[in-house]
Chain A
Amino acid sequence: MKFKTFAAFVGPSVFMMLLFIAAPLVSVFIQSFQVTQPILEQIEVETCTPGFLTQTCTTEIKTVPVLDEAGKTVTETRWVGLQSYRNVLQMDKFWSAVGNGSWNQIMQIDFWKALRFTLSFTLLTLPLVIGVGLAIALAVNNATRSIRGPIIFISLLPFIITPVIGSLSIYWLFVGDGILTAMMERWSGQNISMFAQAWTIELLMYFYRVWHVAPFAFVIFYAGLQTVNMDTLESAVIDGASRWERLRHVIVPHLMPLIIFIALIHLMDCYRVFDEIVGFRSQAHVISLQWLTFDFMTPDDAGNRAMSRASASSMLTMIGIVLLLIIPLRRTWRDHKGSAH
């Protein structure tokens, strides 16, 4: 392809990537080393608010931002080095908790609590998604042609649902006396509260994520299964390989690049787990790194946002994703180089 043609095709998307991904990333990176504060002053303010019949007026010293002549808040931006990272990571508390050998104390620090959940969520759902996806793909592949269509359609349904809506429906099915909780209560004869303790919430989250993402793995694997070399399979049958041996030695090696592809996508998506936290309202028990960033950014009633900590926390999330991806990426790279020889 001529370079000009290539550039014409790729140009718009490179431009979009620079504008919407690279530029914000650079800006977040810079902001994570800065703190922007309004200049504040203390003034005496008399505030009169309604009581039920008469007003109550109070005079107090309030800390309020200074406004310039145009009525804009005067702000000042300072470089603070790694201060925001320190505020997020709270290493001093972390090390003292490690010194005490207290896991519980480490789990009291927001970042480490979030990291613990994010990692176990990512790493536990990964094999499940691949396993379930592969199982569905094999089942569909071996099903009679006439029922294949409907089965594919039904297996794809969870993937079509918007993640927030999906997690909310799971929440409603299980919260309080939701239909499914009520059913479980009838079976077991006990009062069950799925959202009262961390482990049941986490279990529901794993279940939901696998249910939601497995169809994606299924579609990819199903496509991959169509390209398995039939000659190799048939010779394996003649050699007396069992179904399991055929899967282990022929099909899985053939699908390996796809498995790595799905693992990559899944790691990237899962490390940013967020919908489950909001949908399940699990903040009291379980939080994730992405939720932590969101929480820093959400303004409180007085309009304060912790932008510096939010930037630091999202940079840390990105570093985490990069670290996680290194292993599968190195493998792909090796395979890539290997195939070139």
Chain B
Amino acid sequence: MFLKKIALAGLVSLLGSAAMACSYQNEVPVKSLSAGFEAWKAVTDAMAECGNFQAELDQEFRTKQPAAFEANPSLYQIGGVSNGTITPLLNAGTIRPLDDLVEKYGQNLSPNQLIRINGQIMAVAMMVNTQHLMYRSDILADLGIDTPTTWDEVYAAAEKIKEAGVVDYPLGATMKSGWNIAQEFVNMYPGHGGKFFNDDNTTAVNSDAGLASLETMKKALDYTDPEVLVSDSTYVQQQFQQGKIAMANLWASRAGAMNDEAESQVVGKVAMAAAPKAVADGAPATTLWWDGIVIAKNISDEEADAAFRLAMEGLDIEMVQGANDAAIWLVGGYEPTDIATGAIETATANPAPPAYPSTTQMGLLHTALGNELPAFLTGERDAAATLIAIEEAYTTSAKEAGVLK
């Protein structure tokens, strides 16, 4: 009896505290599947305060999401997506238009957050992300180097840093074979004025811009860790935190970690600037990304209503104020700090870098790039042969996927 009372009291106090943080009590069970980085943790924690919510934070979410949302009823009500991973959900029609829900619960959303496809709101963005230049401001100041704005300047600066010998390697790069190295090319290529596809869905990477991009990428190898083909974002972030590198074109979502005193030995020494340009009068050689939420189609309207209301609670001002530096938030109440300057300069540059071109073809090309680029960087194949290999790999998989006849 006594135990029961205690348990009941505990439950009531739990509910009480939940009600304190959340403006209402969620009655409908809701589950979400999203990536696992810091910003998602902040958002899902805020949603969990309303009760009856279960979040799955999984960096492999993109392989699970299409199948999970295709189930009927869908295994998750809320999905966390980026502009890269929304494509399979849109293509399969497993997410619902949100116009009526935005009207009902979305008073605090800014028009900028609403991802419209053919006029219908299909997702609500919460943050932007981009790869931009991070550098050790102390080292560059000591050596009298101005903040590099083009890749040529980056390499010139890297040369000086190498001569000075103040760090192990002047440059870090997310060139892990596969998705990461392909993304490096996807950043560089539009910067050189390249276009990915022709009108008939064949790829156009085998071009002068392609050659120029490969050349720019290869120059980095003189200044990076020799093991750069195994280094992903987390590895580069750690190299920064341990003071082993001085510059890198790294994701904005990693900026916060530089000032994390528990992990970083370079707190306050890493500054952010716009992504370097590939050509002096071009756009920064990077792509713009957003992350946001979608609501599954194969669930009842009641569940969708509850899920969206919950998501709005997770994307409110209180959440942003609690985790201001976790991301470049699009949500109201965000105060850009020093670490956001790089991302903002990149996004507002003129000409501006393109958004990541998320299409079925791009998915295929990204895989082809990820598999064929390493042979070029290890020196097994020259640039021209690599571009031909990429073109062939893309053509084979595009034919298999039915994109090319």
Contact = CB atoms under 8 A, between A and B. Distances in A.
B204 interface: no
B370 to A, nearest CB: 9
A269 interface: no
B290 A50 contact: yes
Contact of B83 (A45, A49, A195): A49
A198 B83 CA distance: 35
B112 A284 contact: no
Nearest to B60: A298
A327 B239 CA distance: 50
Contact of B117 (A47, A50, A108, A306): A47
B402 A302 contact: no
Contacts of A232: none
A302 B11 CA distance: 44
B107 interface: no
Contacts of A39: 402
Nearest to B126: A50
A84 B396 CA distance: 10
Interface stretch (B30-38, B84-92, B254-262, B319-327): B84-92
Nearest to A195: B227
Interface string B157-197: 00000000000000000001110010000000000000000
A259 interface: no
A63 interface: yes
A301 B358 contact: yes
B119 A304 contact: no
Interface stretch (A19-27, A54-62, A148-156, A202-210): A54-62
Contacts of B93: 67, 71, 73
B288 interface: yes
Interface string B315-347: 000000000000010100000000000011001
A309 B389 CA distance: 17
Given A51-B352, A281-B230, A309 B344 contact: no
Contact of A63 (B85, B177, B201, B375): B201
Contact of B400 (A176, A196, A309): A309
Contacts of A295: 371
Interface stretch (B17-25, B133-141, B143-151, B359-367): B359-367
Given A63-B360, A87-B396, A300-B363, A284 B118 contact: no
A108 B389 contact: yes
A11 interface: no
B225 A193 contact: yes
Contact of A302 (B125, B290, B362, B374): B362
Contacts of B328: 52
A104 B230 contact: no
B142 interface: no
Contact of B91 (A65, A298, A309): A65
Contact of A303 (B91, B112, B230, B403): B91
Given A37-B401, A38-B402, A53-B112, A284 B119 contact: no
A323 to B, nearest CB: 26
Contacts of B125: 49-50
B297 interface: yes
Nearest to B65: A303
B355 interface: yes
A147 B86 CA distance: 61
A107 interface: yes
Report the interface size class on chain A: 35 or more
Contact of B364 (A65, A104, A304): A304
A53 B115 CA distance: 14
A199 to B, nearest CB: 12
B62 A299 contact: yes
B378 A284 contact: yes
B226 A55 contact: no
B403 A301 contact: no
B360 A64 contact: yes
Contacts of A63: 201, 359-361, 403
B387 to A, nearest CB: 13
A37 B399 CA distance: 9
A280 B94 CA distance: 36
Contacts of A57: 116
A17 B62 CA distance: 32
Contact of B347 (A45, A52, A87, A299): A52
Given A50-B290, A63-B201, A87-B400, A176 B62 contact: no
Most buried by B among A84, A176, A284, A309: A284
A198 B226 CA distance: 12
Nearest to A39: B402
A32 interface: no
B229 interface: yes
Given A193-B227, A281-B176, A300 B113 contact: no
Nearest to B292: A50
B397 interface: yes
A65 B235 CA distance: 37
A3 B344 CA distance: 78
B74 to A, nearest CB: 12
B304 to A, nearest CB: 15
Interface in A56-90: 56-58, 61-65, 67, 71, 73, 84, 87
B360 A302 contact: yes
A40 B403 contact: yes
A283 B91 CA distance: 30
B276 interface: no
A46 interface: yes
Given A54-B112, A299-B66, A302-B360, 7 more contacts: A35-B400, A45-B117, A61-B199, A280-B230, A284-B230, A301-B62, A301-B85
Q: Which 10 A-B pairs have the closest CB atoms?
A: A302-B363, A303-B88, A37-B402, A284-B374, A196-B226, A284-B177, A284-B229, A300-B363, A52-B347, A193-B226
13 contacts: A55-B114, A56-B352, A63-B201, A64-B90, A73-B92, A195-B227, A285-B229, A285-B378, A300-B363, A301-B87, A304-B397, A304-B401, A309-B397
